[in-house]
Structures are given as structure tokens and as C-alpha cells.
A = this chain, B = another copy of it.
Amino acid sequence: MDSSQLLKGVLDLAVLAVLREADGYGYDVLRRLRAAGLEDVADASVYGTLRRLFQAGALTSYVQPSEEGPHRKYYGLNKTGRELLARSTETWNHFAGTMSLLLVDKEAA
């Protein structure tokens, strides 16, 4: 199974969760997601997700030059973003719970 499909609709949530702890720029968010266990996330997906969330009004954005490379575009959660994170987390927990119930071997029950 290509696990990439599993990310659909969940990458938003993962990005919001990572940004909850501290503002971050795309490349940094990518590394944090991979460190968290989402090894196979593609960079374009993260950049795209950040743009989408920003356009949806869930993120603030500011550019900062860097001493060791190109400029960095930082993103941070605003009120809308934190609310979205809370709601999405709940949706996810509910959904994951439903799935794990469904996956329980009924023979063993």
C-alpha cells in the first residue's frame, strides 16, 4: 500500500501540530515532520500545505533573511489556526477510533 494516500487530509493536521510548538519555515517543518515519523513526506507537499493553510487564514507569515542560505518564510498559528487544529484533532481522533474498532478481529471478541 502506498502510504502517500494516507496523508490526504491529514498533512494539514500534522503541519498545524508541528507549528503549535513554535513558528517554522517550510524546510524546517519538513524536517520536523520527518523527525516525528512521517519519513515519506515530500517537500512540495509541505510547501503546498503551508500555502493553502495561509490562504485559508490559519497562519501568519513573515520573511526573515538567513545568514546561512536563502531567506526563510516563517509561518505561525493564529487564532483561526489553533481552532482549526483543535477541531481537526478531534475529527482525526474520532475517525481513527472508528477505524481501529473496525479493524479489531471480530473472531477474538
Q: Quickly give the copy total for this chain.
A: 2
Q: CB-CB < 8 A to A18: which residues of B?
A: 102
A99–B98 touching, CB < 8 Å: no
Q: Which of A1-55 contact B (CB under 8 A)?
A: 1-6, 8-10, 12-14, 17-18, 20-21, 36-38
Q: Which of A58-91 contact B (CB under 8 A)?
A: 84, 87-89, 91
Interface majority SS (helix, strand, loop, mixed), chain A: helix
A14 to B: closest C-beta gap in Å: 6
Q: CB-CB < 8 A to A108: which residues of B?
A: none
B10–A98 touching, CB < 8 Å: no
17 sample A-B contacts, Cβ–Cβ < 8 Å, listed by A number: A1-B9, A1-B84, A1-B87, A3-B91, A3-B95, A6-B8, A6-B9, A6-B91, A6-B92, A6-B95, A8-B9, A14-B102, A18-B102, A36-B98, A38-B98, A92-B99, A93-B100
Chain A residues proximal to chain B, CB less than 8 Å: 1-6, 8-10, 12-14, 17-18, 20-21, 36-38, 84, 87-89, 91-93, 95-96, 98-103, 106
